[in-house]
A and B are shown apart, each in its own frame.
Chain A
Amino acid sequence: MSVPILKQGDILIASIQSALSDSDLVELRDRLAEGVGRARSRGVIIDVTALDVLDSFATRTIRGIAYTTKLRGAVTVVVGIQPGVAYAMVQLGLALEGVETALDLEEGLALLREKR
Chain B
Amino acid sequence: MNRRVVIAFGMLLVFGALRMPFERQLEAEHKAAYFHGAKFDLGLREQIGQMAFLAALSGFRSLVADGLYLHAHALWERTEWGRMKLNFDGAVALQPRCILFWDQAAWHMAFNASIAAYEDKNQPREALRIKAQREYWKLGEDYLVRGIANNPDNPTLYDRLGFLYREKFKDHCKSAETYARCAKVPGAPVYAKRFAAYELAQCPGHEREAYEQLRTFYFMGKDEHLPTLLKWLGKLQEKLEIPPEQKIAIPPASNP
Partners in one complex: no
